[in-house]
A and B are shown apart, each in its own frame.
Chain A
């Protein structure tokens, strides 16, 4: 009996390794090893042409990272601009897509609603299309004389020349209230950019990508909220109603607390995704008003052959995403049940 058991254990151990080894090898060859290799490249001046492990490649230590963060120069100014663009992008997209997704989910979840699956499908459909195909549609809609400005003109609004407009929306708003010159204290510079520039808000060109990403992602997040809503205990609503709670109070004190885990997930996924925005930016061309760190990493490496700098950007981005995710988990701790 015991001999058959140990035989069975050995067979299972063998089978186990046999089953996982293709996937494991794949992940090691195409993920783990390349990341280590790229980390090495970020400390070198590799040009993308020679063998990265060969003799022509020079170890430059922290030089690439210093170029990006501490050395005054074009690289740092460009990187700071990309960080600023992406920061405003995240600040606008994450709250908006989360709120819109939640709001749509609550609407679609209404008991009396007929045609629920139609609306669910309509809102989810943009999420499954290719980012390239849908960005091309948006580039067309947001032409200077395009559909969006056509609709705005019905309301007497003269729309901007969206994609060609590099002005920051906060600067535009400030000039609307009469502040056109940067006040003295904003002349202070951080990473080669003045505070005035840091607080520009997203460029009008970036607003197009912001609308696009909110539009394509809220459907997915709506489905997650819908699933969570369907798990909310009905009795709680009835108890709330008996206590005379209005719809807003029921939402605030019954719905929202039970959605906490989903809310955390949606915010985390949103934060991780928005710091990686690339495809849409690629299609807007190499434009300083929309350039993000992810795009700059690609541009430095594949268009300018500065793979060292490009890799360094990728790892800084990696670190940033990790820190923000951990920070968010701290601030919004998951409910323990």
Chain B
């Protein structure tokens, strides 16, 4: 009985709500400060970093970001274009190739399937940071260094995505595909017309994860390119704030550009929130 009363006690509720609100402030506060700072002047940002209201409010950094300023412009347009090109291509390729391979591993019997499965599984164990030099090496060897193809192809297949799709395909009842096969449909037809439409939630999940991953990718693009022409939002921003363009203390413009680079993924996140949260949650349960 004591326990039941305790669960209903209002003081416990106040404590839980209090803790949650404090943490929500801690988790969202930095973004609020980021937005406010992007409308500040450099000295105001440095001297009053905590003020939520800019004084004086200025659009100067936004003008620089969009190239409407006499000050040295930020090559934001180039970065944005490159990020869009690269992230879109990587996402499309990943969704297509991962689902193809995932389908084969889930449904088709072919000699060597176990070996292929183990090899793909094995690549999952390789930490990403170990791959920086190897990928640079192969881009050099294939003459793909400093090119879009070089930025896209090496990360267009991911083992995790193959296993994600395999899991989704395995949930389809076998009978549905059997029926199609008896009607004389080949593997490609069965995959494209029957199986693929049935794993739409899987495709959406993989699309979001791939887009978010490639949009936020930094270290690989850093070693795959050196020409500023190929800078993405991540490599461009990092080099910019690193002082090569003399942005040492220009926090309003840096934080404004960082904010803009976050927005596409944030929009995607809010639209597909349910799907993202669910996939993240189920990855925990499966593990």
Interface residues of A in 244-269 (CB under 8 A from B): 244-247, 250, 261-262, 265-266
A-B contact pairs, 10 of them (CB 8 A): A15-B110, A16-B113, A110-B16, A133-B233, A137-B258, A147-B49, A215-B26, A223-B284, A227-B281, A231-B285
Interface contact B34-A282, CB-CB below 8 Å: no
**Cα of A315 to Cα of B253 in the assembled complex, Å:** 39
From residue A250, how far is it (CB to closest CB) to chain B in Å?
Answer: 8
Interface residues of A in 283-337 (CB under 8 A from B): 283, 285, 294, 297-298, 301-302, 307, 310-311, 314-315, 317-318, 321-322
| Chain A residues, CB < 8 A from B46 | 143, 145
Residues of A within 8 A of B (CB): 8-9, 11-20, 22-24, 26-27, 29-35, 37-38, 41, 48, 51-53, 104, 107-108, 110, 112-113, 118-126, 128-134, 136-141, 143, 145-147, 150-151, 215, 219-220, 223-228, 231, 240-241, 244-247, 250, 261-262, 265-266, 272, 275-276, 278-279, 282-283, 285, 294, 297-298, 301-302, 307, 310-311, 314-315, 317-318, 321-322
Interface contact A279-B101, CB-CB below 8 Å: no
| Chain B residues, CB < 8 A from A11 | 186-187
Which of B30, B127, B130, B265 has a CB less than 8 Å from the CB of A128? B265
Interface contact A20-B105, CB-CB below 8 Å: yes
Which of B49, B134, B269 has a CB less than 8 Å from the CB of A143? B49
B283 within 8 A of A: yes
**Cα of A35 to Cα of B135 in the assembled complex, Å:** 8
Interface contact A132-B2, CB-CB below 8 Å: no
Which of A12, A18, A29, A145 has a CB less than 8 Å from the CB of B109? A12
| Chain B residues, CB < 8 A from A118 | 24
Which of B123, B132, B187 has a CB less than 8 Å from the CB of A15? B187
Residues of B within 8 A of A (CB): 2-4, 6-7, 13, 16-17, 19-20, 23-24, 26-28, 30-31, 33-34, 37, 45-47, 49-50, 97-98, 100-101, 103-105, 108-113, 116, 119-120, 123, 125-138, 140-141, 153-157, 159, 162, 181, 186-188, 191, 212, 215-216, 218-219, 222-223, 233-234, 237-238, 241-242, 251, 254-255, 258-259, 261-262, 265-266, 269, 273, 276-277, 280-285, 287
Which 10 pairs show the lowest CB-CB distances between chains A and B?
A: A224-B284, A16-B110, A34-B134, A15-B187, A227-B281, A19-B104, A23-B101, A133-B258, A16-B108, A130-B216
Which of B103, B128, B237, B281 has a CB less than 8 Å from the CB of A276? B128
Q: What does DSSP make chain A's interface, helix, strand, loop or mixed?
A: helix
| Chain B residues, CB < 8 A from A128 | 212, 265-266, 269, 276
Count of A-B residue pairs with CB < 8 Å:
300
Smallest Cβ-Cβ distance to A264: which chain B residue: B287
| Chain B residues, CB < 8 A from A35 | 126, 130-131, 134
Interface contact A318-B127, CB-CB below 8 Å: yes
Given contacts A13-B109, A136-B237, A145-B47, contact A317 B127 (CB under 8 A): yes
Given contacts A122-B24, A137-B258, contact A307 B154 (CB under 8 A): no
Interface contact B104-A322, CB-CB below 8 Å: no
Smallest Cβ-Cβ distance to A13: which chain B residue: B110
Interface contact A107-B19, CB-CB below 8 Å: yes
| Chain B residues, CB < 8 A from A18 | 187
Additional A-B contacts beyond A31-B134, A145-B46, A227-B282 (13; CB < 8 A):
A22-B157, A26-B156, A108-B20, A122-B28, A123-B23, A134-B30, A140-B37, A145-B49, A147-B49, A247-B6, A272-B127, A278-B219, A314-B130
**Cα of A139 to Cα of B254 in the assembled complex, Å:** 11
| Chain A residues, CB < 8 A from B131 | 31, 34-35
| Chain B residues, CB < 8 A from A126 | 27, 30
Interface contact A26-B157, CB-CB below 8 Å: yes
From residue A213, how far is it (CB to closest CB) to chain B in Å?
Answer: 14
**Cα of A136 to Cα of B31 in the assembled complex, Å:** 11
**Cα of A110 to Cα of B15 in the assembled complex, Å:** 12
| Chain B residues, CB < 8 A from A262 | 284-285, 287
Smallest Cβ-Cβ distance to B111: which chain A residue: A13
From residue B180, how far is it (CB to closest CB) to chain A in Å?
Answer: 13
From residue B88, how far is it (CB to closest CB) to chain A in Å?
Answer: 16
Given contacts A23-B100, A108-B20, A122-B24, contact A137 B33 (CB under 8 A): yes
| Chain B residues, CB < 8 A from A131 | 216, 218, 234
Given contacts A16-B104, A132-B238, contact A223 B49 (CB under 8 A): no
| Chain A residues, CB < 8 A from B140 | 52
